[in-house]
A and B are shown apart, each in its own frame.
Chain A
Amino acid sequence: GIQVEQSPPDLILQEGANSTLRCNFSDSVNNLQWFHQNPWGQLINLFYIPSGTKQNGRLSATTVATERYSLLYISSSQTTDSGVYFCALLGSYGGATNKLIFGTGTLLAVQP
């Protein structure tokens, strides 16, 4: 099946620092999303980005589908950015269409 690997698995930042999270995938995708999972388990939609670059405040994302990776940039990090970041791929895998498969996740801790 499709492999979705995220790096780094863990990241500790000082408040105000910038970071780049990476999502590598092994198969073609119809679409890609980035999520932030808060401490209560809720998944918050960050980006819906099959290709190109999008920005939303301090966050931006870039997907290069032909090279099978996506990047999430966090600038001027804040303690509220802490949590787990997931990428998820929508595609046809294992004989089924439109499956949403999650990456391995990056656990981010922003320290004051």
Chain B
Amino acid sequence: GAVVSQHPSRVICKSGTSVKIECRSLDFQATTMFWYRQFPKQSLMLMATSNEGSKATYEQGVEKDKFLINHASLTLSTLTVTSAHPEDSSFYICSARNPGTEAFFGQGTRLTVV
């Protein structure tokens, strides 16, 4: 299957700082990328859907000014958590797909805000 690489896999940051997470499709060009958040023992919650060259579509309740998503190319999307707080600590996962095909997922990023 296709490969999606997410970086970093783990990050610890201080409260009030910003953290950027990268999601790259390594062997295919992805028109659509999804960003998810997962709390322990829970399912994946869709945060936003981004299409290359367009603004991301955020799910209800997700602050677009706090979770900045950029999908600048067909192989790269970034999620920036701005002014992070301890309640932002979570497991963040990205996914990439093209129309008519299945979605593939990155390895996830475990964010801890201290």
Interface residues of A (CB under 8 A from B): 31, 33, 35, 40-43, 45, 48, 86, 88, 90, 94, 96, 98-105, 107
CA distance A101 to B47 in the complex (A): 10
Given contacts A100-B34, A100-B103, contact A42 B46 (CB under 8 A): no
CA distance A106 to B41 in the complex (A): 10
Residue pair B43, A99 in contact (C-beta under 8 Å): no
Given contacts A94-B60, A96-B57, A100-B103, contact A41 B91 (CB under 8 A): yes
Point out the residue from A45, A86, A104, A107 that lies within 8 Å of B102, measured CB to CB: A45
CB nearest neighbor in B for A48: B102
Write out the residue numbers on chain B whose beta carbons fall within 8 Å of the beta carbon of A48: 101-102
Residue pair A86, B43 in contact (C-beta under 8 Å): yes
A6 CB → nearest B CB, Å: 9
Write out the residue numbers on chain B whose beta carbons fall within 8 Å of the beta carbon of A96: 49, 57
CB nearest neighbor in B for A98: B32
Residue pair A43, B43 in contact (C-beta under 8 Å): no
- What 15 additional pairs, Cβ within 8 angstroms, besides A98-B99, A100-B103, A105-B42? A35-B105, A41-B38, A41-B91, A41-B93, A41-B108, A42-B108, A43-B105, A45-B104, A45-B105, A88-B44, A90-B103, A94-B60, A96-B49, A96-B57, A100-B95
Given contacts A88-B103, A99-B49, contact A45 B43 (CB under 8 A): no
Write out the residue numbers on chain A whose beta carbons fall within 8 Å of the beta carbon of B91: 41
Write out the residue numbers on chain B whose beta carbons fall within 8 Å of the beta carbon of A40: 107
Interface residues of B (CB under 8 A from A): 1, 32, 34, 36, 38, 41-46, 49, 57, 59-60, 91, 93, 95, 97, 99, 101-105, 107-108, 110
B30 CB → nearest A CB, Å: 12
Write out the residue numbers on chain B whose beta carbons fall within 8 Å of the beta carbon of A101: 46
Write out the residue numbers on chain A whose beta carbons fall within 8 Å of the beta carbon of B95: 100
Interface centre among B45, B103, B108 (most CB of A within 10 A): B103
Write out the residue numbers on chain B whose beta carbons fall within 8 Å of the beta carbon of A102: 36, 43-46
Write out the residue numbers on chain B whose beta carbons fall within 8 Å of the beta carbon of A107: 41
Write out the residue numbers on chain A whose beta carbons fall within 8 Å of the beta carbon of B38: 41
CA distance A45 to B34 in the complex (A): 15
